[in-house]
Structure formats: C-alpha cells, structure tokens
Chain A
C-alpha cells in the first residue's frame, strides 16, 4: 500500500495507507482526512477536492486534463501545483507522495 502524506492548512499532518487504483480524493475521504469536500463525488465537476502536490511528486502524479484545467482556473488560490485530487489515481509509484491542502474549498 503506497503511503501518502496530506498536510492540512493548519499544519496538521495525516499519513495514510492508500489503496492503489482509487483516487487520492477517495483515499483521503476513506481515511477521514478533513479539508476535502468532494461535492460532486469525483466527476471533476465541482473543484472542492483541490490540493497542492509537492514539487517533487508533480511529474509522477500526472498532468491535469482539459476539464480539470477549467475547474482549477476558477480557483483564486490556484498555483502551478494545483490538482483536483479526484483526478489523481493512486499507484504504487506514488508511495511517499506529499500533498498540501488549501485554506478553503469553494
């Protein structure tokens, strides 16, 4: 099981044993990590599972697709590290990945 660390905006850190094959969003919810709303349930349609992927894990976790780009584009706090966690599929290659959660979801 790949280990993934999610750090809340407050600094609280959560290390989870993630299920490969599920999205990062689903893994975070399954492990009770706060700060991810996922209103649309993983359809890349609401933007409320926004995370910042740590620099060194950006290439391993892939590029945002066109729809994800469109959704991220509306976030005032968007950065080059922004991703929607429902669009990141957890794989064994992501063992050790670090992501940070935003101050708010909207």
Chain B
C-alpha cells in the first residue's frame, strides 16, 4: 500500500485528476479596480456566459481561486489587493487584465499607479488590450485552464518561495506598511 502511495506514477495520476478538477472549476474574485470592471458583467451574464466554461464568480477571497485584476492599480489599492491575494487559499491564480497591469498602459507616467503588476503579485496570465473585449477575457480563461491542466500555473508557489523579493517590492511603494499579522 505504501509502495503504491509513494509511487511516482500514481502521484502523477492523482495530480492529473486534481488539476482536471481545478481547471474545470474556476471561482473568480473580480477585483474591479479600474475601468476594466465594466467588461466583467457581460462576460458573466447571458451574452457571453462564462459559466458554460465553468467560470463562476466568488463572493469572498477565501472561496476564490482566481484573482482578476481589472485595470490600473493605484498604490493605495495595491495594499488591498495584496491582502485579498494572501487571504485566498492555495492553489490560487492571478489574471492581469488590460494593458495597465502589463506596463501601466495609459497611466504609464502617472504618479500614483503601479506600472507592472508582476513585481508585486505573481501573474499567471495577462490579457492584453485597452479594454479587452469579453471574447478576449474568455480566451484568457481558456489559456489559464490550459496552464492549470499542464500543471504550469504555479504563481502561488513562486510567491511563497520568493516572498522576500515580493515583500521588498511591495514595501518600496507602500510607505505605511501596517499589514495585520495573519496566517494565510
């Protein structure tokens, strides 16, 4: 029995089943920071119906699997995003939505928005565009599902392993670092 449980092949099969369930059940916490939030209602409701691809909204970070950052992030919002991200349960994924999360987009020389989301929380999939249409959002979800199925969406693991580096970047922007000391 022990031999079977520790066997590498059976572990691979278990991981395959787990990933199959994970990729076919994505509960999304849509963090409506910027203008991109306006694309989420048509994606979720009758017109484009993300639920047929097993993508569903979640009410709180604790229940969510995917954090959807829709648009620019001001420094003030970044703090809340980090807290929300850290409250989510592993494995968790992040989708950067719109040009603003990639290089700042039209806010590239703004004094209080971040340029690159990847420096602060690990992003698994970027969706390009300003704004990306619901079709593009669904394509982004499909890409994320493909990555999860192959076991390559490991941003959450990367975040845990390189926590010091992420914290350094976060503290550089957030001057009054008064985060509560909670267990994840």
Partners in one complex: no
Interface positions of B (Cβ within 8 A of A): none
